[in-house]
Structure 1
Amino acid sequence: MQIYQVGGAVRDRLLNRPVHEVDWVVVGATAEEMLARGFRPVGADFPVFLHPQTGEEYALARTERKSGHGYGGFTFFASPEVTLEEDLQRRDLTINAIAEDAEGNLIDPYGGRRDLAARLLRHIAPAFAEDPLRVLRVARFAARYAPLGFRIAPETLALMRQLASSGELQALTAERSWKEISRALMEPRPDVFIQVLQECAALQVLLPEVAALFGVPQPAAHHPEIDTGLHVLAVLRQCAEHEQPLSVRWACLLHDVGKGLTNPAEWPQHRGHEQKGLPLVRAINQRCKVPRDCQELALLACQYHTHGHRALELKASTLLELLQKIDVYRRPERFAEFVATCTMDARGRTGLEQCAYPQADHLLAVAACARAVSAQPLLAQGLQGLELGAALNRSRLKAITLFLHDQRRGAATALAAQSRTDG
């Protein structure tokens, strides 16, 4: 029995990056021997075991053969006769096919160290094109390592295009696709993930509503980047730079999908794109089996992000309605994420990445003002049910109205003082 450390741990150590998970491959052993040593099997049909002390994964060396469609359409062959090189060959990229023995010696039969130095994501063998999940994985690695200067090898990108056009991507389960998409959105460059999928024509298969945004123009006065797809990429990059959570990143990805439905005769205007986008967001959420918190924020951002941008102009009654729609009283954290989504949207524009966004502080202050209204005085008056709700709304509206009045009066006073100084 020979045991080797493989995969991401070896790769990231060579890149001087933190190692979070360690995987091992065992050559020359049987499942019975692993069990006798106290290893716990992960699954009945998969030769992977958990170490009795560390809990790390140890997999028997194996080969695989395509036997069906999709990510699960493979049969595996594990035996003591399978060599380390044969096991490494079934992996996706050369940089993921480096092994290290107990003495620290590297086994690199497919040029992984060379590609690490060249900052290249390159497939190992033509069998790469048999697994549709690898399109998403390579795009995710591109998003992770883009800050280090990594790029996808042209021949690998060609195989990704082949997979995208083969129909194999449709065989991926929603759960598996979402796992890769959600992980990729949390990488340092989620925009690169979407861009790679667009370049290899996989975005049109997986998220056609987002793919439809590329090439759709917006008014240059508000969007110097013009192209709506490029705007979405810029918004995602802002999300990463400001370390936004997954729910915000997902909402930012989908906030403008309604613009893909605009009649070209109306370009570059997109009137009503908020309402037009709602059915698309619902369809995407359902198709991808997105978690509820991400679903809800994406719908709210699609419908109300322009309200956020016009927050300084909105009447007290409109602001109160917005707070109620987002359920700020029970879900204040969701309102904060909505404001963050609007902020990322505003800054995801060429040359405006550092722009001030006073709407954010304004919205949060309005929300705090409304949430500070107590129901206790109304309960003391004996109000209940619908009467209590109506009275509470009136009190909140009054509080917001007074807040706006004070804000405008303060602004007018500051302007007058500035005029006197200028004079």
Structure 2
Amino acid sequence: MTGITTTDLVKRFEDVTAVGGVDLNVKDGEFLVLVGPSGCGKSTTLRLLAGLESPTKGSIEIADEVVTTVSPAARDVAMVFQNYALYPHMTARENMTFGLGTATDFTDDEVAERVADAAEILDIEDLLDRTPSALSGGEQQRVAIGRALVRDPEVFLMDEPLSNLDAKLRVQMRAELAELHEQLRTTTLYVTHDQVEAMTLGDRVAVMYDGEIQQVAPPQRLYDAPATRFVAEFIGSPGMNTVEGVLERRGDSVHVTWGENSVPLPSPVSDSVTSHAGDRVVLGVRPEDLSQEMNGPLSMDVTVTEPLGDSLLTRGTVGDTEMEVSLPPRSAVEVGDVLSLTADPERLHLFDPEAGGAFYHSAENVASESTDQPAHEAQWNTT
């Protein structure tokens, strides 16, 4: 069983805490993606796992063995870097095998067989005698992945390996990485700032912010029931609309109101929510869960329209809050229009305005199906 477990993993650089107590469990054979904005600590976490950095505190286990102080060469992991890290004077073949003979007990024939197998899997058999300067970015990345493959490691660690590729090639390489993992089932931790990569590649996705894990969940769960306001706004393109309002009880119904705008929550609403009527809350609703409706409860003043082919992304203000709505592609909407909108009652989310934790998702069937526990329990503040 080749899993990865970190316990209270901390890394400080003088007075800066890059990783602040990360508890992470990557299952045997899993493809787990660590995603977050630049500077959140995800690459540092990967370097700690690889042994390229020493933790200030905490422990690391790989394949049920504590490797916190074990050298990188003895951890049986292979790392793929963002910049490929190929030797420019060596051929692709030499790059893939560099150090392999001295670091292992493989014979020359075994090394040659491993290179041939990796080259066939990655479709680079005709490129093995070329130097990096004679290879495209995508080909160089395949060689870098091949170098990891020939070592047949227990764990793959990948640090933004597609970020230097153009958009079309990234899509192609994402598909190839997914196929490669399906074929090999090697435990993989993949770091990226690109949420599309995270959502399409990961069996599960861990969202990191300010050195801490915010939530770990399957991609759809992450999208449907974000554990924190940060996850809600970060995951999705564009992210979830969030607006601060007041929870208001009107007879048997409960609304979130701000200014002259009001969104009703679907009935029935639990006592744990209604007991906080009059308190501030943050309402979340995704752009695709807003739609035009005559005499709808929300009024948007349109400031920007962005035709995307399959939809018309429309940005505007609802009260004093900027929001986005995804409309059908040929909607007759122009800057300066006033749209009447309604929110899908089954796709509403409420967050604590202070702690940021989610405490309500109207799609209760989605929330009840999750077995993942959010990193932060919602703490209600009434101040």
Same fold (TM over 0.5): no
Determine which structure has the larger strand proportion and give its number.
2
When normalised by structure 2's length, the TM-score is: 0.28
When normalised by structure 1's length, the TM-score is: 0.26
Structure number with bigger Rg: 1
Determine which structure has the larger helix proportion and give its number.
1
> Which one scores higher on RCO, CA 8 angstroms, separation ≥ 6?
2
